[in-house]
Amino acid sequence: MADDKDQLERPRVEPEIIPPGRSGQQGDWRRSPWSDGAFDRTRAAHRIYVSRVGPFGIALLLLAIAAIVAIVIIAVLGAVLIWIPVIAAVLVVGAVLRVLRGSGRL
């Protein structure tokens, strides 16, 4: 460990400078070691087209959002509507038990 902590440590290995135009040789740094390079050469360039969304695209987007919201609302209402008969049955059973206890039969 160095005595002076502000002094920079020199690199232990010199970096390798690869001159341009040395592609295809053994030490090519652009090729993956796990591929033969054929896939990289055939699929090197991709084009991405970006354009403004027109009125038809906006309408389709709003229709998709409305469909998702409708499905969520139907699912929530369905879950609530399932509990209505369960709560009604609990209330009826509670009312019947109260009447039976008040009359002395239970």
| Domain count within the chain | 1
Structural domain that includes position 54: 38-103
Tokens of 6: 């502000």
In a domain, 18, yes or no: no
Per-residue pLDDT tens over the stretch 86-106: 999 999 999 999 988 887 766
**Is there a domain that residue 66 lies in?**
yes
Q: pTM, whole model, 2 decimals?
A: 0.40
Residue 28 lies in a domain: no
- Name the nearest CA neighbour of 41 among 20, 21, 23, 27: 23
Residue 85 lies in a domain: yes
89 within domain boundaries: yes
Tell me which residue of 79, 78, 106 sits closest to 94, measured CA to CA: 106
CB distance 9 to 2 below 8 Å: yes
Least confident among 19-23, 63-67, 69-73: 19-23
